[in-house]
Structures are given as C-alpha cells and as structure tokens.
Amino acid sequence: MTQSLLHRILDHANRADPYPIYEELRRTPVHHEADGPYVISTYYEIRSLLHDPRISSDARNLASNAAGPPAGAPPEESTLPPGFLKLDPPEHDRLRRMTNRPFGPPHSPHRVDGMRGELRDIVTGLIDGIGEPDRIDLVEQFSYPFPVTVICRLLGVPREDEPRFHTWADTLAASLDPDPDADPADRGKGAQDARMQLGMYLAGLIEERRKNPGEDMISQLATAKGDDGPMTTMELLSTAALLLIAGHETTVNLITNGMLTLLRNPDALRRLRADPRLAVPIVEELLRFEPPVQLVPQRTTLADIEVRGVTIPKGASVWLVLAAGNRDPRRFADPDRFDPDRPDIQHLGLGSGIHSCFGAPLARLETQFALAELARRLENPRLLEDPPPYRQNAVLRGPRRLHLTCDGIRP
C-alpha cells in the first residue's frame, strides 16, 4: 500500500535524504490529509505564520477533534510544566525575558562572547583526545560531548554529572518525533520518567545554588530579583530543563551535519582550512542547507487562518517544515546547492519570530569553532560510510554516527 506523503516525511527510512519528499510537498503548500495536521512547506508562508499571533505554541489550545496532541506535548501527568518554548504571550514573554537576563543583551551582553577562550579549550581537548585517526566516530568523540560540556558549564552542572544527561536528553528528544508507528503511551511514559528524574536532579541543584550561588546561570536565575519578580520553583525547574536539553541537542546535529556537508564538498573544506573566518558564512549556509530542526510540529491556530487559499480552522494542528522552506526555489536560487558564498541567507534554520532559537548566538559560535578546528587539524579526512546511519527523528535530524578516517591529527 502506498504511503501517504505525511508518513513518508516521518518514515525512518527517509532520514538520510528527506529533501525529494519536501520538494514534492511544496507542490501543495498547505498539505492536509484526513484526520491529520495542516503541513506548511513553503518559505514565505512558514515565515509569515512564525510571526502570526494567531498561531499558538500552547498544546492546550488544540481542539479536541484535531489530529491528536502535537508532537512533544508534555504528558498530562508530567511533573514539570511546559517550558516557555511551549507557551504563548504573556507567560512566554515574561519567562523568556527573565531567562535572557543572565544570558545575553542588554543585561549580560558579554556572556556568550566571553566564552570564546573556554570553547577553544574544550574543542582542543576533544580533538587531542580522539586517539587513533584511522576510525573516528565524530558524534561520540566530538559532536556530542562538546555542546553538552558547554551547556553544563554555562548552567553550573558539576562536570561529574554531565554523563547523566545523555539518557535523559535522548529520551526527551525522541519524544519530539511525531512517529506514527510508536506507541504514544510507552513514549509518553518514557518522556515523563525522564522529565521526572531530570526535575528531581535539578531541584537539588537549584536548592544548593540558592544557598551558595555562583556565577552560573542556574545561580542567577534562582536568586534573580528583577522587574518581573523571581521565578517560581516549578518555572525555574522547567526553564533549566529546557535549556539543558535544547542547549545541546540542536548543536550536536548542526556540527555533525556540518562536517558531513563539508566532507561532501571538499572545496569548501579546503577553503575553511585556509581561512577560518569562512566559518561564519559556512555555518549560516549550513543552517539553510541542513538545518538541525527540520520541522516544528507543535503549533495550533487560535482562529481560522487562510493560507494560499486554504482555510485552516481554529484549533487545528499545524506543522511548519522549516527544512522544506529553506530549499524553496521561490526564495533561494539553486536551493539544493551548498554555497557558502550565497549573498542572501535569511534562512529558517533557527526559527523566526518570538520563538526564534533562544541559544542561537551560542550555537553559532560553537559550530564555527568546531568546524574551523576540525578542518584545520584533521589531515585529509574522508567518510567511511555515506550516507551514515541517522537518528530516527524527523524533527531533530542528524547522523547517529559519523565514521570518518584521516591521515593524522595536526597539533
């Protein structure tokens, strides 16, 4: 039996190259199957909806007769409330504003930029520790430990506790995937258990930081006395959990997708090795060409909305396929070509509007450092398998392993 287009998007077998399916999807900019979500795949329509106040991120606004709870909606019995990523104004704005105080401008303008030296040291240490260059798993040995180490240090998680987040992060990331073949009860319980364990750990850490605050973000959030008042304990737990998980999952994929793309485009890799400043435009083109977040499946309409002649009813589930929009030929010339010299890269790779990626400055800087140093230090790197095995996740798309070899590792 022929799979529906929606099932083909989600099919694990299509993770290695979903772009032909996205091209087919764009022929019907508002795709809707019986009892399914409304799927938007074209650039201008996605960007417009990301800025439309009639689109909600709060799962509680989904109509009871809509196509099930959006992917990633917290279990009903969850011990943690939704993070601000899954809230609407004014709750979203207040929590995001409070979280931003210790992270970025205007209150902490040098937080990310001041981490440059530490980022460089972490990258150097990880590459030094790769060992034998004949078979490297870039995900296990570099792409995963780098952003996990960074976010844990930023938030103030003790280094010895960093490994505990691997299982929690994988479970919660998997819960974002709208897999039609998965048992929703099993997956919901797994996500609920992971959130509960993470919440219990963070509760202890927050209590300790309230008594003995440091310079880390958890300390600053736990002791904040700004115009918005302090966060409640539950808000603080939910925000810390969101930052820990979201703070590394997308960056793991961005770094891995980035190195895979450079190895497939050796001229770009040679140019980056010769001039590390090219890391900036390369990362922007990567965010368009191979975005780590492929689709946003947890949006709901607060009113009837007309998109390209189709009326999406109030309370409907809406999926925004960012990766399809990023390769929309109506917006980008020759969109299936990786081009670091592309003059205009207003991509959707980090979202847009009020829910644009909170950690975008850090993710960009991490990936720039990572790819520039990998290009410089790995001598004649080559892929050992192409395509590599991919994670079974249609939302957060990236290789599960990236095996490569090189002739040596430069000092």
pLDDT at 90: 94
The full length of the chain comes to 411
Model pTM?
Answer: 0.90
Helix (DSSP H) and strand (DSSP E) numbers for the chain: 15, 12
pLDDT at 68: 45
Q: Is the Cβ–Cβ distance between 247 and 185 less than 8 Å?
A: no
pLDDT at 277: 97
> pLDDT for 330-354, tens place per residue?
999 999 999 999 998 999 999 999 9
For residue 365, report the phi and psi dihedrals to the nearest 5 degrees.
Answer: -65, -40
Residues of the chain with pLDDT under 50: 1, 68-78
pLDDT at 265: 98
Q: Is the Cβ–Cβ distance between 173 and 294 less than 8 Å?
A: no
Taking the mean position of all CA atoms in its chain, how far away is CA 101? 22
Q: Is the Cβ–Cβ distance between 240 and 224 less than 8 Å?
A: no
> pLDDT for 214-224, tens place per residue?
999 999 999 98
How far, in Å, CA of 37 to CA of 396, rounded?
19
